[in-house]
């Protein structure tokens, strides 16, 4: 899986998204990570949040979901 953050990502989200993509892409149970919402549409404003989706294998789903809070805390 590639680890690029493409498109027009607001600067305030760029570091977090790079960390998230790098971390999740290193997990063999994660098949893809992608953005949705206003950031993906190129219409983010100061009120925008981050809509991130991950495609996870069924065998790894519970494990990855259980690790998610710790992963998010480690990224910041």
Residue 73 reports pLDDT greater than 60: yes
Under the banding of pLDDT at 50, 70 and 90, the label for residue 66 is very high
Number of folded domains in the chain? 1
pLDDT single digits (tens) 3-26: 555 567 888 888 898 899 899 999
Instruction: Evaluate whether residue 66 is within a structural domain.
Output: yes
Residue 1 reports pLDDT greater than 80: no
Instruction: Evaluate whether residue 2 is within a structural domain.
Output: no
Helix axes 61-75, 11-25, angle to 10 degrees: 140
* pTM summary value: 0.76
- In terms of residue numbers, what domain contains 24? 11-75
- Please give the mean pLDDT across all residues of the chain: 87
């Amino acid at each position: 899986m590639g680890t690029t953050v493409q498109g027009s990502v607001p600067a305030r989200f760029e570091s977090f998204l790079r960390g998230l993509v790098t971390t999740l892409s290193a997990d063999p149970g994660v098949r893809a990570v992608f953005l949705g919402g206003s950031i993906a549409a190129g219409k983010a404003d100061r009120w925008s949040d981050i809509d991130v989706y991950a495609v996870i294998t069924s065998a790894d789903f519970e494990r990855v979901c259980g690790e998610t809070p710790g992963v998010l805390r480690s990224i910041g």
